[in-house]
Structure 1
Amino acid sequence: MRRVVSSALAFLAFGLLPLTTYASSVSVLTTIKPISLIAKDIVGDHADVKQLLPNGASPHNYALKPSDLRSIDQADLLIWVGPEMELFLQKIASRHDKALQLTAIEGFPLRYYGEQENHEDHDHDHDHDHDHDHDSHDHDGEHSSHHHNHTGIDGHIWLGPQQGITIAKAITERMVNIDADNADYYRKNLDRFINGVHQTTQKIKTELSAYNEQGYFVFHDAYGYFEEAFGLKQSGHFTVDPDRKPGARTLVTIREALVKNKARCVFTEPQFNDSFIQSVSKHTKAKIVTLDPLATNISKDDGRYQAFLSALGGKFVECFDQ
């Protein structure tokens, strides 16, 4: 390394190389912004965190570009959720030792979508065990032919604090292997991350404890990990897959629940057109608030994953607090 630095400096003397050449750090590539936030909290300034998908792009329907393939080749570590979320990466990631598939981490606290579906009763209690029954409102077979089906693993793993910590531990382990010289630095960051997430989780729990019985509808069924962590019970969702419009019957069912004040909140998402949410909520008392599961507006500075969880919690409070 020292020889590289001195030759780089020799070049610098002649003005031939940009200043950054000798500060070659590890290159970490994540697929989506929330995973970038966790990675950045662990690697700090000792590695370069880049993101494959543009902010706000949905991993459900992304298509790889040639420049993406170059980025993947150049990365020392590629972090992706798994085929449940980024199906477009499955072939490439399986060929790379440097790929870290989060849903494949041993002992990962995964949720599974319920196999049975309950359409009629929006008031019933969800029991919060692993196979818990999800109110799926896709009567019109919206997801029957789509790869992002509604059984098996729920891929939105970054939305649960416990899951966030598991992701951070896995990233730390990989970084220690890739860059052993800085192992202590990564481990210290991990400790700080875990403490910070625990504190944030307690704070959000306190803020949301008053609203555990409140009904609400979400745009797509992405929030199970967050809901489980904070004792929230959704009344249902407009769509299982954000790329598909909800069926007419789903909209009627949700409209009826809103008219009867069974749900006081409807959450939309910035990534998708929500005109049907606006029309279904019209002339009801329901409040419409935007939830951003992809952390689009959170900066990548220190402690940002906690900021992301807090922002989500804050949106629930904003909606319920009427």
Structure 2
Amino acid sequence: MAMFTRLDLPRGAYALLPVFLGLLALIPFTGCGNDPSVWPDKPGPKVVASFPPLYCFAVNVAGDDASVRSVLTNQGVHNPDTKTAELRTLNRADLFFMNGLGLDEKIAARLKGGSGNTRLKLVDLGAGLDKKRLEAPNEHAHEDDEEGHGHHHDHGTTDPHVWLGLDHAITFVGEIRDEFKQIDPAHAADYDRRAAEYTAKLNKLRADGVALLKDKKERKFVTFHESLAYFAKTFNLEIADVIQKVPGKEPSGKALEKLVKTCVENKTRVIAVEPQFSGQGAAARVLDELKRKGITDAVLVEIDPLETAQEADLNADWYETKMRANLDALAKALK
């Protein structure tokens, strides 16, 4: 029978073994890239996207010539809690697509540093957008609360939720195509073809959405947090106001009063809520107050800003399916 042999260590060294092993656990595990559960065993570029919409754009361009993973799924980009699994994914990756515009740059840099993958290329897709076509944060997001302190969106002077605007989504697809062609020129024609096919799907999505909503006399609705400006612009809608000026921060009583007043004055009765936020008491209070003030047909409608997804649900059609569900929900709610 094999026996373990006691090592000849200095006096007191055995007492330090638990501490030593604990420190080892903190060292980045760079050898885990061979784990088949992280990347499939096939040739081609290994690409990560910061969150689900970018994953969908990339996977549609990649086809069978590259592997794509989303490093953030059900966590979201506003309050990410990165774990060892994300670092393992980045360990062997070649490209990291991020949205930029103040949304996920810090997350991406932190993940790259923690992975130890110095050759990983960070690609800021937002930097390639036409700055003249970017939206500033909604004007309502800068109104003062009852203490007199303005609540500003945490992304600065540019609204970063560009993936919900189809013009910007199409631009992202083109940028992703070009990065794939640069790193894998042997399959350039295939990347061109798949990008064109997916762009055609996105153009059809826009045309279908515009047609679905074209006869609606109501064009304004309230959003739960400041995320749907590009979506609204794509489909000729308008954001009347925002409930949470800062994601995750409940509005003050005075802010809710202003919001209700705005809705009454503009005859806005549709309030968008998001599946990512479980505590949406403020939206319910607005709904009740509007009904009390005579807007008896005020309604809540669930609109997904596509910031999160369950990993098991992610596939090439996820973005299009979610966007169409949003359009269907709005079409049913608006008159």
Above 0.5 in TM-score?
A: yes
- CA RMSD in angstroms, aligned pairs only: 2.9
Match of 1:305, SS? helix
2: CA distance, partners of 1:138 / 1:250? 8
2:92 match: 74
1:309 match: 323
1: CA distance, partners of 2:201 / 2:52? 19
2:124 match: 101
1: CA distance, partners of 2:64 / 2:327? 28
Q: Compared with structure 1, are the counterparts of its residues 248 and 28 closer, same or farther at alpha carbon in structure 2 (3 Å cutoff)?
A: same
Mind listing any 5+ residue stretches in structure 1 that lack a counterpart? 1-16, 115-132
1: CA distance, partners of 2:157 / 2:142? 17
Match of 1:152, SS? coil
The one-letter code sitting in structure 1 at the alignment partner of 2:219 is: Q
2: CA distance, partners of 1:235 / 1:175? 40
Deviations, residues 116-145 of structure 1 (Å, cap 9, x unaligned): xxxxxxxxxxxxxxxxx633364223635x
Determine if the alignment matches structure 1 residue 279 to structure 2 residue 272.
no
Displacement after TM superposition at 1:61 (Å): 2.0
Q: Compared with structure 1, are the counterparts of its residues 241 and 87 closer, same or farther at alpha carbon in structure 2 (3 Å cutoff)?
A: farther
The one-letter code sitting in structure 1 at the alignment partner of 2:319 is: Y
Q: Compared with structure 1, are the counterparts of its residues 218 and 21 closer, same or farther at alpha carbon in structure 2 (3 Å cutoff)?
A: closer
1:118 match: none
1: CA distance, partners of 2:329 / 2:173? 24
The one-letter code sitting in structure 2 at the alignment partner of 1:31 is: S
Determine if the alignment matches structure 1 residue 28 to structure 2 residue 60.
no
Mind listing any 5+ residue stretches in structure 2 that lack a counterpart? 1-34
| TM-score using structure 2 length | 0.75
2: CA distance, partners of 1:239 / 1:215? 17
Determine if the alignment matches structure 1 residue 143 to structure 2 residue 151.
yes
1:293 match: 305
Displacement after TM superposition at 1:320 (Å): 0.9
2: CA distance, partners of 1:84 / 1:32? 14
1:124 match: none
Displacement after TM superposition at 1:63 (Å): 3.5
Determine if the alignment matches structure 1 residue 206 to structure 2 residue 211.
yes
2:165 match: 160
Determine if the alignment matches structure 1 residue 37 to structure 2 residue 56.
yes
Determine if the alignment matches structure 1 residue 112 to structure 2 residue 135.
yes
Larger Rg belongs to: 2
Which stretch of the first structure deviates more once superposed, 303-312 or 236-245?
303-312
1:64 match: 82
Q: Compared with structure 1, are the counterparts of its residues 90 and 31 closer, same or farther at alpha carbon in structure 2 (3 Å cutoff)?
A: closer
2: CA distance, partners of 1:68 / 1:302? 20
Deviations, residues 162-195 of structure 1 (Å, cap 9, x unaligned): 1111000011111111222211111100111111
1:7 match: none
2: CA distance, partners of 1:108 / 1:75? 29
Determine if the alignment matches structure 1 residue 229 to structure 2 residue 243.
no
The sequence identity of aligned pairs, in percent, is 23
| TM-score using structure 1 length | 0.77
2: CA distance, partners of 1:198 / 1:137? 34
Match of 1:113, SS? coil
Match of 2:224, SS? strand
The answer (yes or no) to whether the contact 2:96–2:120 under 8 Å persists in 1 is no
The answer (yes or no) to whether the contact 1:40–1:302 under 8 Å persists in 2 is yes
Corresponding pairs, count: 283
1: CA distance, partners of 2:95 / 2:132? 22
The answer (yes or no) to whether the contact 1:212–1:232 under 8 Å persists in 2 is no
